[in-house]
Structure 1
Amino acid sequence: MVKESTLVNLLDNYVSGSRLDCAEAIYMWARGIPNEYASSALRIRYGNGMVYNEVIRDLKKIKVSKPIDRTEDTKFRIDRIIFEFFEEKCLPLILDRMVDGFKAIMVKTKKLMISLARADLLKGGNYVDWNTLWILYRAVFNEELTDFEKNVVIRELLKINVIEYIAEGKVHFPPYIDAIRQELSNLANMPKIEIPDLKEEEGKSWWKVNRETLLKQPFI
């Protein structure tokens, strides 16, 4: 078991050492996001696909194995300590990067964000099927994206934390995205639209056919 101060010192070292990648990795670990999906997303954001493993090694050194473990002295859950620290010390940095990122992304990426915001899908903890993204984009802007353009759009949204990670053909948005709801509203200052239907079996079959190829892509 670990003392609370030891865990907090580890988190403080990440922030003071400008290791936001480690801070985000431990936050994803605490929420139970599997290594495969977290590492792929973190590689896009920080250029380091091994940071999740690095964090797990750091946790083992201080004798932490599971997010639901409790500290030796205060008996607080490990995940709760990480959540509170992340929200206080790291989240402002990430939110600033998200808002700044809106200025640099290409037009097609911004269009996808507008489509998601107008459909009220771009909100904390939500996820969207991969196929739905492009059906929605086509419904709003009456245009198709090439596979290459789709890859670039997804990479850009992963890089600025608008997409947190992708798993099993579903695009997941971070729980903290609601904190910039006003910026998203300004971006998508249009009436809400209805989401086109996508049969569940179509989404499943699409993922089954393309899974091996997609897992080799840098954005998955």
Structure 2
Amino acid sequence: MAIGLLGNKIGMTQIFDESGNIIPVTILKVGPCIITQVKTILKDGYNSIQIGYGSVSSKLLTQPELGHLQKSNIQPLKYLKEFRITENDHEFQVGQTVKVDAFSSGQLVNIGGKSIGKGFSGLQKRHNFARGPMSHGSKNHRAPGSIGMGTTPGRVLPGKKMAGQLGNKITTVKKLKVIQANAEENILVVKGSVPGKPGNLLSIIPSE
């Protein structure tokens, strides 16, 4: 099944392959996820499935969220996410549980999540700008300099690269190799790093 799953980042470590090479890996706790809704072209205009992850108390959900899950007799879930599927994927049913065994060793996946927030950062750190001269008398070391034209247009154009918040946004790392998928412990081991700190919510999607 070419389906995405939700999980949490546990942390990073390193393992050895058969040749004795060190492989940096990230350990993820993935699923089990429950299919909470199946959308079709006839009813909704496109094919997709909605999955839920993370048990939570019903007191922490709104009435619309509870009603949406109770309609399918599904316990309260903290996270919901929708994944597009092809017309050929008709084996999905509401209430079906999807586990980490949907992935296999050697498979490539795209992992997305919120990156680590690094606060307010300047131009050199945020956009890799060059600095000014560091010699005596220069008053332009890390300053932004001119940010636009004069009379015309007389304003700063939208999208100008300036200092501001760095990180804390949704980002995706593509084509990470699955090293191991443990269905008993719901553990997925992937080569390389993934966004965010330990405990960060992640979406894992098969790479095309």
Calculate the TM-score normalised by the size of structure 2. 0.25
Calculate the TM-score normalised by the size of structure 1. 0.24
Q: Which has the higher helix share?
A: 1
Q: Which has the higher strand share?
A: 2
